[in-house]
Amino acid sequence: KEYAMIADPNTLYKLMILYILNASEFPLTNSQVCEFLLENGYTTYFTTQAAISDLIEAQFISVRQRNNSSYYQLTPSGLETLEAFSSSISDGIKADVKVFLENKHYTLRQNNEITATYLPKKNQEFEVDLSLKDGKETLINIQINAPTELQAELMCDHWQKKSTEIYNYLLNSLLAKNKG
């Protein structure tokens, strides 16, 4: 692999993480960041986790938990740091990032546009939050109660698979002319 002009490989891995987060249209999960670095043979899983941890601690990236996954985004200080040192990242690495994001675009987009989570409520029920977005625009957000955790999980699972179909059904039903 063609590496950058940085003596410390750990610094390069951190810059690579900042670079891929900046290049992506969506927040990336921990596994997506790892997938890029591991698939391209840049480093190991444990080194990647250490780099991510350091970036969070330095407040160069922010983390948000959703659906048992950690989603990372570049912070303004992370962007400043990347801009100051981006010339240290080789064209080969930048090309690898571009190819990775192009090949994974649909999956990355789906992971960020269809969300389904649930939380326990005080009365032993669960509040399910279902959302479908188109880019940054929210198309629909539904909050519904589920009597059991199993039903909440089923709702989330079905939403991941059928959100577009459900959205289209609701839209058509709400816009249909009243017959009668």
Q: Tell me the pLDDT of the chain (180 aa) as tens digits.
A: 444 455 578 888 999 999 999 998 778 888 889 989 998 898 889 999 999 999 999 999 998 876 667 788 999 999 999 998 888 888 999 999 999 988 887 676 666 677 888 888 888 899 998 988 876 678 889 999 999 989 998 998 888 788 888 988 888 888 887 665
CA distance to 131, 171, 172, 178, per residue, from 175 (Å): 20, 6, 5, 9
Say what the pLDDT of residue 146 is. 93
Say what the pLDDT of residue 4 is. 45
Residue type, 131: S
Are the beta carbons of 143 and 129 closer than 8 angstroms? yes
Tokens of 35: 């997938």
What is the enclosing helix (H) or strand (E) of 114?
Answer: strand 114-120
Distance CA 23, CA 138 (A): 22
Are the beta carbons of 125 and 146 closer than 8 angstroms? yes
